[in-house]
Structure 1
Amino acid sequence: MKWIFPALILGSQLSGILAAPASKNQPSKALAIKRPAIITVGHGSLSIGRRGPAGAGAGAAGEGAEAANELEVAGVFDQPIALGGGDVKTDVLFTKSVPIDRPYGPFAVGALEVEFQNQEGRTLTVTENKTPAAPPTGFVAIEPSSFQINLTEGADGLTLQKVDYVFDVTNPAVAAMDLAQSKVGLLCTDRNIFIVDDALGELEFEAEENEISLIVNNMNGEWGIFIPEGATEASLAEAANVTAGADAPLITGAIPAGEPVPDTIVPLHGEDDLAAPETEIMGDFNTVISLPGGNVKTDVLFPPSVAGSLEVEYDGLLENAIRVTRNTPPTVDPPAGFLFVDPSSFTIRAKATTDPDMDIVKVDYIFTPTVKDAVDVSQGFIAKLDPATNTYVTEGLGEFEFEVEEDEWSLTVGDGDLNGEWVALVPVEAAIA
Structure 2
Amino acid sequence: MPCTLTSLPVELSTIIVDQVDSRDISSLRLTCSRLHSTTLYRFRQSFTHRTTNLSSKSLRALTAVCEHEDLGPAVRSLTVVAAYYDTTFLQKVLDTKRPYKKYNEEHGPVIRETHKLCTRKELNTVATQHNTLIRRQADQAKVATSKSDLIQLTAIMQKASNLRTITLEAGLYQYPEVRVAASQSRGAWADVWKQALRVYSVTMTALAQSKLRIEELHIYGGEWGCSVPAYDMHRLMPDLLAKGLKEVLVQSRVLSLNYATRLLEAERPFGVKGFQGYPRRIEESNTKLVSLAPDKRNYLGPAYFLSLCPNLQELDIGYYALRIPEWCSSRDFSAYWGGYENAFDQITRSVRLPKLLKCKIRGQSIRQHALLQLLKDSP
The answer, yes or no, to whether TM exceeds 0.5 is no
TM range (shorter): under 0.3
Task: Choose between structure 1 and 2: higher helix proportion.
Answer: 2
Task: Choose between structure 1 and 2: higher strand proportion.
Answer: 1
